[in-house]
Structure 1
Amino acid sequence: MDDSKKAASIKPSVSEAQAVELVGRLYGRKVSKVQPLPSYDDQNFHVLVSATQESGDLSESYVLKVLNTADSQDADLVEVQTQVMMFLNRKGFPSPTPIPTIDGKIMSLETIKEGNVNKQHLIRLLTYLPGIPLAKITLDHQNYYELGRTVAQMDKILLEEFHQSPTKSLYREDFIWNLSNIHLLEKYLHEMEEGETLVIIKQVIQQFKEKIRPNISKFRKGFIHGDFNDCNILQKPVDSPADQVEDKAEKISPKAALWISGILDFGDLSYGCLVYELVIAMTYSMIERQDCLAFGGHTMAGFESVIPLTDDEREAVFPLVLCRYSQSLVISRHTLLLHPENEEYLTISTRYGRDRLHQLWQVGKEAAERIWFEIVKSYQR
């Protein structure tokens, strides 16, 4: 099977009725409402359930997560991802936690009929975290400083206290979203439209191969979330009840103090380079900003207040940010060709990512670093 057909076949196509049946059979919950949620390769459902099959009085919200067939074959990887979520939740980070099945498991491998084919998917029922994605909220520099600080605190506590040896699959050696694998984008470049964007991406890949890849061994390693972007981080006003469901950004006052209420999607978790975590957070903090460099600088300052970068890591930040924008554009284009029905979700980042890639390419490494490093210094005075 070629890559395109393989990628097209791994995404689940579970119906709402099947989702209801899974929740009832595996978790003993009676579903009163089910609603599909956006997802890249998996399938997610927001389900409202009662505490027991017999009673419909107590309503609780959960997310039913149906993993794609490829990840479902690697139970060890999913097990560690889930254990990390549980560990971080115990340490005070607002990450989802799994609801045990009736027989006490944190996940269940199920054979599900999809069309005329039976497919196997790992199933988890996760706690639902209320809040609004950062992408829908107007935030200031201080918010992004706190964002950078939070992701560094998360990585630091994993590094120091999560004592579990990484399995081979956690190194994500062939994972296309791993920033160590930018060279793998080359096999998808023929799907990109000709033009200046493609010219820049080709040069970014070449720079990666010449200047970043030979130095990856110098970067410090640890467990990283791997996708700390503005759609995976939820926020709520500080003065709102913890269990109040906020889903509309227009309800939030521009002057409201916000707190991070949810850190979602640990599907890209890896044992990788700590600097990648910062780069990903910076990439998405800048993506919708004309004055993007300032927002990236404040994110960096927050991160470095907890995990100061080494000289080698600092040197790599700018080219790696270009790599992440290139990654997003190329992979989104490839996935869109496979799943045109999911265009709205798949093009969330590409709408602005192309502009930011062009902008940073024109600004250049030296000018961008001057702004970023000066902002970092301003917090240290």
Structure 2
Amino acid sequence: MSEGRPSASVADVTQILAQHYNLQVLSITELVSFDSRNFAVEAVPLKKKLHRKAEHDDEAENDSPSRQNSDCCGSKEKCNPLTVPAQKLVLKILNSELCREEKLFTTKQQIEASRFLKREGFLCPEVIVTSEHELLAPTNISESCALLMTMLPGTALGSDKNRLTATVLYELGVLLASMHQVLSGCNNKYMETDPHNPWAMENMHLLSDYLDCIEDEDDKKMLADVMAQFQRIRNNELPLLIKSLIHGDFHDLNLIVDWDSTNLDTERSTICQKYGIIDFEEMSVSYPALELGRLIADMMTDCDSLNLLDIGGHVLAGYFSVDEYVVKNFSLYQAVLACLAQYMVLGSYEYTAQGGTNDYCSLGSKESKKVLKQLRDVDESEVYKAWGDVLAQYGVKNVFSQE
């Protein structure tokens, strides 16, 4: 949460890149972020010895030819920064909570998991190691550390809500299910969900600690009811579900699409290569079913062009084309409500905690309240019926027990 959000200046970024990556900064732009600090930078090498992407270090351990050092220009002459193409990179200065000794290993495991996804064919940023061949660079900023990555071309899917068509929702369902399937084979040791993380949906009971930020008493009663309903399925249904590694923050602002790419509409293009996935700091061993509910909730708050009750059906059709069993006999509707409640409460809390200066924290908070009230006005069975009707249009079986 906000307590560990670092303060960072342009001078800090410049120093980190020069000291730990041998890079000279040409331009710096701060990007929106929740509780870390993200900077888009263009940079060129300062010296002829160029740091290598993290993937190359794995090859180096196996005596690959890539182990051999080379200069940044491919010649023996010292590089002139003015003649070397600038690299477009993202420097993430992590929340200091993620850099504490007891959490640092988990943070590094999350980075390794993103690299695993990339090796499996997903579009993810490449992690760039420091000059000392470390994944993370130390900083002098509030005990934080920094992570440098390549910048994926394109823009956040959520930056243009008109892009959220039925086809895109279907593709996001496919992408999420495919990612879950691949992550089930990833080493997840030491990546259990933090029991103190209020953003983890299985920790919904922790929301009660943040309800003071909600002023309206009727809203508090509504939220308390949602929490009580979710506690029921947490006790009775979650223990029966599959647990695996999940992204933890999979939504349209963490998906990058290069709409100008000539490959988007070709047979060579796959869904996993169309959507770039970023921000892996919430990755943990949890329930894929909950992350599916979160995606549906996100799309309900962001998509204006489709009927609210139909939105989940399009996402589910895509997901079920890969895996139709992850939510069988599970009250997915309650997970959607729980996620909306999280956004409503924690978004408001974090915005206030950061002094009302970070609008990114409040994104979706008001919309979540609106959607939550709309869903509470219809019977749960109506939602499942609407999803089932959409699934039928795709020729996909409706697996919900409420049918």
Q: Tell me which interval the TM-score lies in, with the shorter structure as reference length.
A: 0.7 to 0.9
Going from structure 1 to structure 2, the CA distance change for 1:55 and 1:239 (only over 3 Å counts) comes to: closer
Of residues 33, 38, 52 in structure 1, which corresponds to 2:32?
A: 38
CA distance in 2, matches of 1:310, 1:135: 26
CA contact (8 A) 2:294 2:336 kept: yes
Matched, 1:303 2:326: no
Partner residue in 2 for 1:234: 256
Of residues 156, 167, 172 in structure 2, which corresponds to 1:133?
A: 156
- Following superposition, the deviation at residue 241 of structure 1 comes to 7.5
CA contact (8 A) 1:44 1:64 kept: yes
Secondary structure at the residue paired with 1:170?
A: coil
Matched, 1:373 2:373: no
Matched, 1:142 2:136: no
What are the Cα deviations for residues 294-330 of structure 1, in whole angstroms up to 9, with x where unaligned? 122100111111121356x553210010000000111
Partner residue in 2 for 1:62: 89
Amino acid at match of 2:37: Q
What are the Cα deviations for residues 38-77 of structure 1, in whole angstroms up to 9, with x where unaligned? 1111111111101344513311111111111111111111
Of residues 344, 363, 366 in structure 2, which corresponds to 1:348?
A: 363
Going from structure 1 to structure 2, the CA distance change for 1:236 and 1:174 (only over 3 Å counts) comes to: same
CA distance in 1, matches of 2:361, 2:128: 29
Going from structure 1 to structure 2, the CA distance change for 1:100 and 1:32 (only over 3 Å counts) comes to: same
Q: Which moved more, 1:97-106 or 1:282-291?
A: 282-291
CA distance in 1, matches of 2:224, 2:3: 29
CA distance in 2, matches of 1:8, 1:172: 16
Going from structure 1 to structure 2, the CA distance change for 1:239 and 1:110 (only over 3 Å counts) comes to: closer
CA distance in 2, matches of 1:310, 1:31: 46
CA distance in 1, matches of 2:143, 2:215: 36
CA contact (8 A) 1:170 1:269 kept: no
CA contact (8 A) 1:226 1:269 kept: yes
Matched, 1:283 2:297: yes
CA distance in 1, matches of 2:114, 2:218: 41
Amino acid at match of 2:254: N
Secondary structure at the residue paired with 1:380?
A: coil
Partner residue in 2 for 1:172: 194
- Following superposition, the deviation at residue 262 of structure 1 comes to 1.6
Of residues 21, 25, 44 in structure 1, which corresponds to 2:19?
A: 25
CA contact (8 A) 2:245 2:284 kept: yes
Q: CA RMSD in A?
A: 2.1
CA distance in 2, matches of 1:34, 1:314: 49
CA distance in 1, matches of 2:188, 2:281: 18
Of residues 29, 45, 49 in structure 2, which corresponds to 1:51?
A: 45
CA contact (8 A) 1:11 1:41 kept: yes
- The 5 Å alignment of 1:203-214 reads 203-214=225-236
> TM-score, normalised on structure 1?
0.87
Partner residue in 1 for 2:211: 189
Amino acid at match of 1:88: L
Going from structure 1 to structure 2, the CA distance change for 1:109 and 1:280 (only over 3 Å counts) comes to: same
Task: State the percentage of identical aligned residues.
Answer: 25
CA contact (8 A) 2:347 2:363 kept: no
Partner residue in 1 for 2:136: 107
CA distance in 1, matches of 2:10, 2:329: 47
What are the Cα deviations for residues 84-114 of structure 1, in whole angstroms up to 9, with x where unaligned? 11111112211112101111111123333xx
Secondary structure at the residue paired with 2:302?
A: coil
Of residues 281, 287, 290 in structure 2, which corresponds to 1:267?
A: 281
Going from structure 1 to structure 2, the CA distance change for 1:12 and 1:343 (only over 3 Å counts) comes to: closer
Of residues 100, 108, 113 in structure 2, which corresponds to 1:84?
A: 113
CA distance in 1, matches of 2:243, 2:127: 27
Matched, 1:15 2:9: yes
CA contact (8 A) 1:155 1:223 kept: yes
Matched, 1:359 2:381: no
Partner residue in 1 for 2:60: none
Secondary structure at the residue paired with 2:192?
A: helix
Amino acid at match of 2:230: F
Partner residue in 2 for 1:124: 147
